[in-house]
Structure 1
Amino acid sequence: MNTASATPVGPAPVWDVINGFTSYWALSAALDLGLFDALAEEAGCGAGLDAGQLAAAVGAAGPGPVTVLAETLVALDLLDAVGDRFRLTPVAERYLVSTAPASMAALVRYSPGPPAAWPGLADTVRTGGPEPSVTADLNALYPALVGATGPTQAGVATAVAAELERRGWWPKQPTVVDLGCGSGAWATALLHARPDGTVIAVDRPDVLPLAERAAGDAGLGDRVVPVAGDYLDAVLPVASADVVVLAHVLRAEPADRARRLLTRAIELAGARGVVVVADYWRPDPPPDPPPARRHDVSAREDDGRAEDEDRGALCRAARHELLLSLTMLASTAGLGVTAAELRAWAEAAGAEVVGSFEPVPRQHVRLIRSRTPEALS
């Protein structure tokens, strides 16, 4: 290759990463200032606010700093600018206004986990786990974090209920076990679809009140049975369930615990029930070459190049999922989960993945059922 005539490699990917840090704090500052809420109050007239009006609305010293922040948000497609006025984009209106049903405003603050986890990420990679102080910070943060996931997860759970209905796996009076119920979004959404059902809601003692409060606020408190304890060994008031939910819990667990947790869910579902797993999947590792090609050097080299290219494409396509897996690594004992691991764990427990869908963007769900003839019929 003639390097002299080759196009120079630019630093854009490096700048994108550096600017990602700035972008996050621009969004955080806008939320802290109430900038999106201020624009939402003016959304009815459709004209938006100019920099002076926006500065007054958020309590800023003057229009200059607000202009820099707002123009940055325009560049990030989180605001729109028409003439001298700033307006909400559809994305901001739906996900960044604090009172919107699907608001992610709180999730922006809590989703990255403890701030102290990130400067220590290199040490976490070296040692295999985060510092105890980071784990303690996460434990303190956890109730707020799971509460912030509620609006997004409610939409996912509602779509899952519709899918179970479509497949004929959603009885009129279902028994649901939600292992890691978090905010209670799944429990309340599923019970809205089946008000005569019962949800056994399992989570840590400091988190469980969130689910109870959500069910109570929805008028469904008498349909939720709270169980405090570890997902793996909490004593449940039922021996089986029609639906077992594992929503964003496997990726935060070490592999052995995640496997055993899935096995428990499959056992609870039995021959007739279904396990619902919602998570962010890391790309599967490249397959081993067939035995006949392992001794063929040229074929092995060709396979290696193809696998490298395929894996690179898979990683780029799974950017969101990999970043969330890295978030798990930074502050938990989990490394995320691959779809291949899920399939293998399910098969070892006598079950199989029978459905896969994306009910809302970037929210992936797998449905697992027993391989017994009764279940497959």
Structure 2
Amino acid sequence: MNAATAPVSPAPVWDVINGFTSYWALSAALDLGVFDALAEEADAGTGLDAAQLAAAIGAAGPGPVTVLAETLVALDLLTAVEDRFHLTPAAERFLVSTAPASMAALVRHSPGPPNAWPGLADTVRTGAPEPTVTADLIELYPALVRATGPTQAGVAKAVAAELERRGWWPEQPTVVDLGCGSGAWLTGLLQSRPNGQVIAVDLPNVLPIAEQAATDIGMRDQVIAVAGDYLDVTLPVAAADVVVLAHVLRAEPTDRAQQLLARAVELAGADGVVVVVDYTRPDPVRNGIGEDGGGAEDRSAVYGAARHELLLSLTMLASTAGLGVTVADLRSWAEAAGAELVDSFEPVPRQHVRLIRSRTPEATS
């Protein structure tokens, strides 16, 4: 049978259906403590068989544990050697609850309010999530921002090193963190500049988390906390060396996102830099030509390569007024504000950083 007459496979449909099952397999494993139990045996290198794993997590017997563990092997989250299960390097680094870069809490909270997803069709139809979904998201924010902390801390430290390499990181910087969330960015930056100062802005129910993060590293005095809407609050500084917009633009409607970037550019002034960290959707195309002027593309391949970013944009759509953000948006908004996107880099896999600076002679010389 040649390719032209080969039967169409239902695999893409099954992959999506099984994605739901995969998520709940991981969630159940975290709730049961599967990864933590295997981490306790990691030094010995012997792993655990199903009966031992069942005993370690308090399960009634090895049968159901076997099914779950084998599924986790199929998902590349565990490995199996004969009848024993072991952590993969990714699971050891990101799913053990005590690991510095643990994403265990993020797995639970990143999808947003659970009731957002059954109502996604109505959200697409009407253009906005139900008010109850938005209210649930506001209530979820404290747990969600805490969960992002371990991942974002590593990105912040890498960005500080990059700013220093470029000569854009003074010894006593003033930083404005608009939407400071967990405080991972302000602490990550302050640790490389303990004489710096951060103005941390977020909602009243989120801001104490960032304040506690600064307290935990002994730098609470370097942080000025400002509660409120980052578009409207009055700030105690007129200019900053670095303005951080970490994972906030994609959660805003287009007009507010553009206004927020404009405010960041204004704060950065002629010599500062705006650091944008976000999961950007692919740029649009016009008449078959890429937004950046490049040639015609295979858009299926473009969207396939951006699967992670598109799914996270859909997560925003399900529970916020945001539609995600593209690099073309950032370029356009920066230009409208008298600035330009000067570079992009990926300090940690799947964490994209864009640097925006003023077009004034002082910043481009």
Which TM-score band (shorter chain)?
over 0.9
What is the Cα deviation at residue 202 of structure 1?
0.2
Equivalent of 1:353 in 324, 341, 357: 341
Question: Are the counterparts in 2 of residues 147 and 210 from structure 1 also a CA contact under 8 Å?
Answer: yes
Q: Could you say which residue in structure 1 is the equivalent of 2:90?
A: 91
Indicate how the Cα distance of structure 1 residues 284 and 210 shifts in structure 2: closer, same or farther if over 3 A, else same.
same
Question: Are the counterparts in 2 of residues 286 and 307 from structure 1 also a CA contact under 8 Å?
Answer: no
Describe the superposition over 1:335-371 as per-residue Cα deviations: whole angstroms up to 9, x where unpaired: 0001001100000000000010001000001000000
- Aligned equivalents of 1:136 and 1:10: distance in 2? 41
What value does the CA root-mean-square deviation take over the aligned residues? 1.5
Q: Could you say which residue in structure 2 is the equivalent of 1:149?
A: 148
Q: Could you say which residue in structure 2 is the equivalent of 1:27?
A: 26
* Counterpart residue type for residue 55 of structure 1: A
Q: How does 1:358-373 map to 2 (within 5 A)?
A: 358-373=346-361
Query: Greater Rg, structure 1 or structure 2?
Result: 1
Q: Could you say which residue in structure 2 is the equivalent of 1:300?
A: none
Alignment length (residue pairs): 361
* Counterpart residue type for residue 321 of structure 1: E
- Aligned equivalents of 1:349 and 1:368: distance in 2? 11
Equivalent of 1:343 in 328, 331, 339: 331
What is the Cα deviation at residue 307 of structure 1?
7.8
Question: Are the counterparts in 2 of residues 286 and 311 from structure 1 also a CA contact under 8 Å?
Answer: no
Indicate how the Cα distance of structure 1 residues 273 and 307 shifts in structure 2: closer, same or farther if over 3 A, else same.
closer
* Counterpart residue type for residue 198 of structure 1: Q
- Aligned equivalents of 1:264 and 1:123: distance in 2? 33
- The DSSP-based 3-state class of the residue aligned with 2:298 is helix
Q: How does 1:272-287 map to 2 (within 5 A)?
A: 272-287=271-286
- Aligned equivalents of 1:346 and 1:328: distance in 2? 22
- Aligned equivalents of 1:337 and 1:78: distance in 2? 31
- Aligned equivalents of 1:103 and 1:185: distance in 2? 14
- Aligned equivalents of 1:145 and 1:287: distance in 2? 37
What is the Cα deviation at residue 288 of structure 1?
3.6
Question: Are the counterparts in 2 of residues 239 and 268 from structure 1 also a CA contact under 8 Å?
Answer: yes
Describe the superposition over 1:272-297 as per-residue Cα deviations: whole angstroms up to 9, x where unpaired: 0000000000000113468xxxxxxx
Q: Could you say which residue in structure 1 is the equivalent of 2:236?
A: 237
Question: Are the counterparts in 2 of residues 254 and 333 from structure 1 also a CA contact under 8 Å?
Answer: yes
- Aligned equivalents of 1:215 and 1:330: distance in 2? 32
What is the Cα deviation at residue 7 of structure 1?
1.1
Query: Does structure 1 residue 45 correspond to structure 2 residue 44?
Result: yes
- Aligned equivalents of 2:297 and 2:270: distance in 1? 41
What is the Cα deviation at residue 309 of structure 1?
5.0
Q: How does 1:1-377 map to 2 (within 5 A)?
A: 6-288=5-287, 310-377=298-365
Question: Are the counterparts in 1 of residues 288 and 296 from structure 2 also a CA contact under 8 Å?
Answer: no
What is the Cα deviation at residue 6 of structure 1?
1.4
- The DSSP-based 3-state class of the residue aligned with 2:276 is strand
What is the Cα deviation at residue 310 of structure 1?
2.3
* Counterpart residue type for residue 158 of structure 1: K
In structure 2, stretches of 5+ residues that fail to align are none
- Aligned equivalents of 2:299 and 2:4: distance in 1? 29
- The DSSP-based 3-state class of the residue aligned with 1:342 is helix
Question: Are the counterparts in 2 of residues 175 and 242 from structure 1 also a CA contact under 8 Å?
Answer: yes
- Aligned equivalents of 1:256 and 1:3: distance in 2? 52
- The DSSP-based 3-state class of the residue aligned with 2:277 is strand
- Aligned equivalents of 1:110 and 1:269: distance in 2? 32
- Aligned equivalents of 2:113 and 2:4: distance in 1? 47
- Aligned equivalents of 2:267 and 2:42: distance in 1? 49
- Aligned equivalents of 2:210 and 2:68: distance in 1? 36
- Aligned equivalents of 2:282 and 2:332: distance in 1? 15
- Aligned equivalents of 2:38 and 2:7: distance in 1? 43
What is the Cα deviation at residue 4 of structure 1?
10
Describe the superposition over 1:175-206 as per-residue Cα deviations: whole angstroms up to 9, x where unpaired: 00000000000000000010000010000000
- Aligned equivalents of 2:111 and 2:326: distance in 1? 21
* Counterpart residue type for residue 116 of structure 1: N
Describe the superposition over 1:78-112 as per-residue Cα deviations: whole angstroms up to 9, x where unpaired: 00111111111100000000000000000000000
* Counterpart residue type for residue 126 of structure 2: T
- Aligned equivalents of 1:266 and 1:59: distance in 2? 54
TM score, norm. by length of structure 1: 0.94
Q: Could you say which residue in structure 2 is the equivalent of 1:303?
A: none
In structure 1, stretches of 5+ residues that fail to align are 291-305
Describe the superposition over 1:249-289 as per-residue Cα deviations: whole angstroms up to 9, x where unpaired: 00000000000000000000000000000000000011346
- The DSSP-based 3-state class of the residue aligned with 2:97 is coil
Indicate how the Cα distance of structure 1 residues 273 and 308 shifts in structure 2: closer, same or farther if over 3 A, else same.
closer
